[in-house]
Amino acid sequence: MTAGGVPFGARLAEAVAARGPLCAGVDPHPGLLEAWDLPADAGGLEKFALTATDTLAEHVAVLKPQSAFFEAYGAAGVAVLERVIRHARDAGALVLLDVKRGDIGSTMAAYAAAYLGEGSPLAADAVTVSPYLGFGSLEPAFAAAEATGRGVFVLARTSNPEGAALQGAGTGAGTVAQSIVDAARERNAGARPLGNVGVVVGATITPGELRLAGLNGPILAPGFGEQGATADDLKPLFGDVLAAVLPASARGLLKHGPDPAALRTAVRRTQDELRRVIG
Ligand SMILES: O=c1ccn([C@@H]2O[C@H](COP(=O)(O)O)[C@@H](O)[C@H]2O)c(=O)[nH]1
């Protein structure tokens, strides 16, 4: 166990208690770079990502860089991502790297080493993973997370409308999405205060689609903000497990930049809205 010897679930609970549940996305969209009057090159990416990180990270429990927008600039983009991870952690935020990786076990072990391995330049506090090759294929990521005090968020029912047909498809035990939640619940059994296997459930989905009670793990809820979900949607959707929810917003915050004061105001306003419903 590394990361100070404290498991991810405990570190997350402490961060949320101190800073609230908002997960701020750092998504350097080309459209946002343009809106911030920055060039669509590695220099523009660096200015955007570090301004966003240095402004937001000290105010939120979790910062979620979207790897795709960094990878788009090749090695220079990945170098910026490494700096974003370091800056965010130095500011006291937990870093949830949104990479959505998933592969056969032997390859998954290499992804786990890259994103969850102690000393890796891209190691974050947690990553998103895709269970499309089977929940069990993610075992190397679960093992690495357990060994290093990090977390894994498994896609269950995503926020995009195209996810519904596949993830809502029935199996003997219910839907595909439900089977992912149930498998995560098993892995988190007995952990206190929260296990280190989270699920991704979009804040945009219909209430009642999933049974989340007893998950005993964190729930990343993207779709909050620019994709249309609001703070008032959270209670009907997550009910008794609301305290474990991390509502995630990227564009909804970042569109207020590049002025750091305006970004901070947007974060505070969003945190106040969440406090009203989550407490
Ligand atoms: O179900 C999912 C899983 C991940 N995402 C990611 O979250 C952000 C959302 O950005 P917004 O600007 O707040 O819409 C983005 O990085 C997605 O890849 C998601 O939206 N839905």
| Whether ipTM exceeds 0.85 | yes
Average pLDDT over residues 230-254: 97
Does residue 71 fall inside a structural domain?
yes
Position 217 in a domain: no
Six-digit token pair at 262? Answer: 């305006």
Rounded CA separation 102/200 (Å): 14
d(CA 92, CA 102): 28
Give, using CA atoms, the residue closest to atom 21 of ligand 1: 159
pLDDT (average), residues 90-118? 98
Q: How far is the CA of 259 from the centre of ligand 1 (A)?
A: 23
Residue 193 domain flag: yes
Count of domains observed in the chain: 1
Answer whether 108 contacts ligand 1 (Cβ < 6 A): no
- At residue 5 the predicted structure's pLDDT band, cuts being 50, 70 and 90, is confident
Asked if 249 and 25 touch (Cβ cutoff 8 Å), the reply is yes
Within 8 A by CB and 6+ apart from 107, the residues are none
CA distance 96 to 98: 6
Q: Is the CB of 53 under 6 A from ligand 1?
A: no
What confidence score (pLDDT) does residue 1 get? Answer: 47
Percent of the chain with pLDDT over 90: 96
CATH number for the domain spanning 264: value is 3.20.20.70
100 catalytic? Reply is yes
Do 229 and 204 contact (CB within 8 A), yes or no? Answer: yes
CA dihedral 232, 234, 236, 241 (to 10 degrees): -150
- Looking at every residue in the chain, the average pLDDT score rounds to 96
Q: In the prediction, which pLDDT does 279 show?
A: 73
Instruction: Decide if 74 is inside a domain.
Output: yes
Q: Which residues pair with 129 in a beta bridge?
A: 101, 154
Model confidence, pTM: 0.97
CA distance 112 to 120: 10
Mean pLDDT of 22-33: 98
Pocket test for ligand 1, best of 33, 62, 64, 98 (most atoms within 8 A of CB): 98
Band (172; pLDDT cuts 50, 70, 90): low
pLDDT in tens, 60-99: 999 999 999 999 999 999 999 999 999 999 999 999 999 9
Regarding the beta carbon of 7 and ligand 1, being less than 6 Å apart is answered: no
In a domain, 183, yes or no: yes
- 219 domain residue, yes or no: no
- Band the pLDDT of 220: cuts 50, 70, 90: very high
The tokens describing 249, both together, are 């917003």
Percent of the chain scoring above 70 in pLDDT: 97
Rounded to an integer, the average pLDDT of 3-19 is: 92
More confident residue, 171 or 93: 93
Domain span at 61: 3-202+234-278
Segment 240-251 mean pLDDT: 97
Domain for residue 226, yes or no? no
pLDDT band at 4 (very low <50, low <70, confident <90, very high): low
* Two tokens, residue 227: 């994709």
